[in-house]
């Protein structure tokens, strides 16, 4: 009698625990931007490039603080092959447009209005940025933006990724 009790209890416990959604972690392939229904501009072709994908929102203070740092990275690394794609998760296109108009970011900004991509990626915090290697796999994840410390780490990691040879086609 005790054994069935234990089996029932174990089964019920297993059913009660929600299945965790998998966050993207280093080594995982990043979803294709082209297939994510992004608005606000044409989704760039990422294949073979080192890409920084940043998830931000106009209502997020740290996201706003990160933009000058990304602008500097864009200035320093774009010629060497870095592509920065900032994906807004704003559901209000007017807020996205006003933010873009105000800050004039020199990198690609697109809008994930339906929040399909951010949901698929399951970002753990706002902002979160993903550094992708030339093989389109996530190599580094930065949760939040911590000013000069984050920028310093990004520079080290971008240098590392740009120095790597492109994958054989």
Query: Given candidates 38, 51, 55, 99, which one binds another protein under the rule CB under 8 A?
Result: 55
CA 70 – CA 92 distance, rounded (Å): 23
Report whether 114 contacts 96 (CB < 8 A): no
Report whether 136 contacts 30 (CB < 8 A): yes
Least Å from the CB of residue 167 to another protein: 31
Give the total of residues touching another protein (CB under 8 A). 30
Report whether 52 contacts 85 (CB < 8 A): yes
**Residue pointed to by tokens 């209005």:** 113
* 99 is a contact residue toward another protein (CB under 8 A): no
Which tokens sit at 142?
């930065």
Give the interface segment with another protein, choosing from 5-13, 38-46, 98-106, 132-140 (CB under 8 A).
Answer: 5-13
**Closer residue to another protein in complex, CB, 89/158:** 89
* Nearest residue to 144 via CA among 55, 68, 24: 55
**Closer residue to another protein in complex, CB, 18/168:** 18
Instruction: Report the interface residues with another protein, using CB under 8 A.
Output: 1-2, 5, 8-9, 12-13, 15-19, 21, 55, 57, 59-60, 89-92, 115, 118-119, 122-126, 128
């Amino acid at each position: 009698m005790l054994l069935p009790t234990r089996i029932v209890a174990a089964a019920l416990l297993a059913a009660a625990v929600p299945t965790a959604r998998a966050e993207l972690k280093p080594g995982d392939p990043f979803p294709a931007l082209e297939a994510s229904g992004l608005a606000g501009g044409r989704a760039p072709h990422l294949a073979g490039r080192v890409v920084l994908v940043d998830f931000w929102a106009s209502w997020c203070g740290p996201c706003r603080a990160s933009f000058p740092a990304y602008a500097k990275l864009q200035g320093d690394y774009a010629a060497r092959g870095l592509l920065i794609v900032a994906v807004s998760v704003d559901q209000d296109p007017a807020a996205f447009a006003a933010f873009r108009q105000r800050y004039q970011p020199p990198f690609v900004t697109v809008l994930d209005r339906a929040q399909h991509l951010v949901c698929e990626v399951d970002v753990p915090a706002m902002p979160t940025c993903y550094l992708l290697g030339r093989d389109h796999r996530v190599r580094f994840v930065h949760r939040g933006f911590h000013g000069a410390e984050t920028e310093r780490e990004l520079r080290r990691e971008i240098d590392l990724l740009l120095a790597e040879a492109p994958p054989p086609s």
